[in-house]
Amino acid sequence: MNDTLHLTGRGIKELKCLEPYVNLLAIHLTANVISSLDGLHSLRKLRSLHVAHNNLTNLKGIENLTELRFLDASSNIGMNSIDALASHGSIEVLLCGNNKSLRCIEALSTCPCLTAIDCRDCGISGTAKNESERMLSVICSSSCLASLNLNGNPIMAQISEPFRIFCISKARALQNLNEIPVLLKERRISEAYMLRGGRDAAQEEKRKIHEEEEREREEQWAWFHELIETKKEAV
């Protein structure tokens, strides 16, 4: 039996009669009118689930999908909760963007394998500055998180520190933030800002980085010059 089922754009309203497909690894249900994921309980081997562009308001029904690695639940009308993902032990990639009613993603902090979160253009926010900072801190605390996209969310403007600096200093494994790579230089400056004294510490770290780069350029030039002289002597 094929391990992938394609049911995109079929006008499906309910998930039913999936019991014969117990060996499915991936199912594509994008662009239907599904309002509940309750019918997925028999797909225990499922690794990839595509349910973007449906009518989901939450993710209830995936709790028993213990092999699930990839979930695309973007662009669902009325999606306001992803709490069903709390403590999910296998999810690695979550695409949940363009869900304007989604305000809290704190449940993701309990997903130990999560490496990529894309929740762009949602309504993610806290009711107060300290709540926003706490939510962002717990999300970024994951030791596996390598990619985070929160572009277009109110929370970006609700914290007291610069957004990129805040996230990079908290997420030690982060390699990409809002579709922009996190370079070692930026990480050093961000950590100096947050951990060693704000703008002054960041400026000092920038100065150190500049000096290191200058020394490296001088060493490379000296090596090149020595190589040229050696070649001349050999002629």
- The residue ranges of every structural domain in the chain are 4-182
Q: Mean pLDDT, to the nearest integer, of 191-197?
A: 89
pTM score > 0.85 for this model? yes
Q: Is the pLDDT of residue 142 over 60?
A: yes
- The three-class DSSP label of residue 194 is helix
Name the fold adopted by 4-182: 3.80.10
Q: Which two tokens stand for residue 217?
A: 């350029």
- Average pLDDT, rounded, for the chain: 93
Residue 235: its pLDDT value, please? 64
- List Cα–Cα distances, 169 to 4, 30, 164, 196, in angstroms: 40, 36, 8, 11
Residue 128: its pLDDT value, please? 75
Q: Mean pLDDT, to the nearest integer, of 151-165?
A: 94
123-126: list long-range contacts, CB under 8 Å, 24+ apart: 123/99, 123/153, 123/154, 124/150, 124/153, 124/154, 124/155, 125/153, 125/154, 125/155, 125/158, 126/155, 126/158
The b-or-e profile of 111-140 (16+ CB within 10 A means b, else e) is: beebbbbbbbbbbbbbeeeeebbebbbbbb
Q: Name beta bridge partners: 93.
A: 70, 116
Q: Is the pLDDT of residue 199 over 70?
A: yes
Q: How confident is the model at residue 223 (pLDDT cuts 50, 70, 90)?
A: confident
Taking each helix axis from N to C terminus, what angle separates 129-140 and 163-170, rounded to the nearest 10 degrees? 40
Q: Mean pLDDT, to the nearest integer, of 104-123?
A: 95
Q: Which two tokens stand for residue 57?
A: 């308001």
What is the Cβ-side half-sphere exposure of residue 82, based on CA atoms within 13 angstroms? Answer: 31
Residue 1: its pLDDT value, please? 52
Residue 129: its pLDDT value, please? 72
